[in-house]
């Protein structure tokens, strides 16, 4: 298997996988528009990483959107991470709970605070058992990251804004949620939203859908972000060159582990089955308040 290619005897010193410093958005520059949003949940010693991608044959239709979650408990210390690839299928946008099923294995090796090797292997019944090796670069600066290869601490120092970072969900619709990454240097908040097709509008058996959100971080407790759909990519291949705004979302921060989101999808054809859908969600931060 592709995971058997790992030769521990030839590994260079790496950044520990069990630290908040690896959290944030990671992608392959040659395959932009897809990637991982990593969160280190210290209290549970769990690495959680939704993977936003596309079906292997790609295409510009939203039915090609796919997302998985990588998850595993790591030993103390952990130089790298071997974790499960999970899939949640058959849900409905904003409604109900779905359960994950294991569809593969993944290995993450952080060569530095801004570079990682991502190996994956799907089971035979998922993507025909596809395997791959991807070199990832950090898209967004993370919180302080300890790099044993140097005395430098990379990333952005923790601030009040970093409390937004990580995984958020609504308990009543567990199995879907959002990942946030604040970038104070650029006054930007970036997020990804892993969810499903609206009820009665499924366009593929998995019924999966995902969006990215981006806008100003702001200085108060509220900000409004653009909701963006990306299409045109393929699993670990073509970049997603088709990005269109389909709505807006307003975030209201209530506490370090409570966040409200009010969303409004556009009244336009590009919004597809989400057209004119609006709603309110009360989110909780997985792992509680950030340290």
CATH class, range 2-152: mainly beta
What is the DSSP code string of the chain? -GGGG--GGGPPP-B-SSSGGG-EEEE-GGGTT-EEEEEEEGGGTEEEEEEEEE-TT--SSGGGEEEEEEEEE--SS-SSEEEEEEE--S-BTTBS----EEEEEEEEEEEETTEEEEEEEE-TTSGGG-EEEEEEEESS--S-EE-TTSS-EESPPP-GGGGG-EEEE-GGGTT-EEEEEEEGGGTEEEEEEEEEPPTT---STT-EEEEEEEEE--SSSEEEEEEEEEES--TTSS---EEEEEEEEEEEEEETTEEEEEEEE-SSGGGGGGTT-EEEEEEEETTSS--
Mean residue pLDDT of the chain comes to 90
Residue 159: pLDDT over 50: no
Say what the pLDDT of residue 160 is.
Answer: 41
Pull the structure tokens for residue 65.
Answer: 């959107």
Q: State residue 155's pLDDT score.
A: 54
Query: Is there a contact between 131 and 118 (Cβ–Cβ < 8 Å)?
Result: no
What pLDDT was estimated at residue 1?
43
pLDDT of 220 above 80: no
Residue pair 232/241 in contact (Cβ under 8 Å)? The answer is yes
**Mean pLDDT over residues 206-210, rounded?**
96
Please report which confidence band the pLDDT of residue 11 belongs to, taking 50, 70 and 90 as the band edges.
low
pTM: 0.91
3 pLDDT above the threshold of 50:
no
2-152 shares its CATH topology with 160-285: yes
Which residues partner with 118 through β-bridges? 108, 134
Average pLDDT over residues 204-225: 92
% residues pLDDT > 90 (the chain): 78
What are the extents of the domains in the chain? 2-152, 160-285
Instruction: Pick the more confident residue, 113 or 185.
Output: 113
Residue pair 38/245 in contact (Cβ under 8 Å)? The answer is: no
What are the C-alpha distances in Å from 213 to residues 48, 49, 152, 188, 224? Answer: 19, 17, 31, 10, 9
Are residues 116 and 26 in contact, defined by beta-carbon separation less than 8 angstroms? yes
Q: Can you tell me the distance from the alpha carbon of 30 to that of 26, in angstroms, rounded to the nearest whole number?
A: 12
Better-predicted residue by pLDDT, 60 or 177: 177
Architecture of domain 160-285: Beta Barrel (2.40)
Strand partners, 67: 52
Q: How confident is the model over 29-43, as a mean pLDDT? A: 94
pLDDT value at position 137?
96
pLDDT in tens, 122-132: 999 999 999 99
């Amino acid at each position: 298997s592709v995971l058997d290619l790992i030769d521990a005897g030839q590994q260079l010193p790496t950044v520990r996988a069990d630290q908040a410093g690896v959290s944030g958005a990671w992608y392959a520059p040659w395959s932009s528009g897809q990637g991982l949003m990593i969160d280190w949940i210290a209290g549970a010693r769990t690495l959680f990483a939704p993977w936003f991608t596309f079906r292997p044959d790609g295409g510009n239709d939203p039915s090609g959107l796919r997302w998985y979650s990588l998850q595993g408990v790591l030993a103390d210390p952990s130089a790298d991470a071997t974790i499960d690839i999970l899939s949640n299928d058959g849900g409905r946008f904003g409604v109900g709970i779905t359960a994950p099923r294991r569809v593969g294995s993944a290995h993450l090796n952080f060569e530095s605070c801004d570079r990682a090797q991502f190996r994956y292997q799907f089971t035979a019944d998922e993507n025909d058992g596809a395997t791959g090796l991807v070199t990832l670069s950090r898209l967004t600066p993370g919180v302080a990251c300890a790099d044993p290869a140097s005395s430098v601490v990379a990333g952005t120092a923790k601030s009040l804004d970093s409390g937004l970072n990580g995984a958020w969900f609504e308990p009543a619709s567990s199995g879907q949620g959002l990942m946030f990454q604040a970038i104070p240097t650029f006054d930007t908040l970036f997020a990804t939203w892993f969810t499903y097709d609206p009820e009665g509008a499924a366009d593929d058996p998995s019924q999966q859908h995902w969006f990215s959100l981006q806008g100003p971080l702001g200085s108060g407790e509220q900000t409004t972000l653009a909701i963006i759909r990306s299409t045109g990519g393929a699993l670990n291949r073509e970049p997603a060159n088709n990005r269109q705004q389909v709505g807006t979302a307003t975030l209201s921060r209530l506490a370090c582990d409570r966040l409200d989101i009010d969303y409004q999808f556009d009244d336009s054809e590009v919004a597809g089955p989400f057209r004119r859908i609006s709603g309110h969600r009360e989110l909780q931060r997985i792992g509680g308040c950030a340290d």
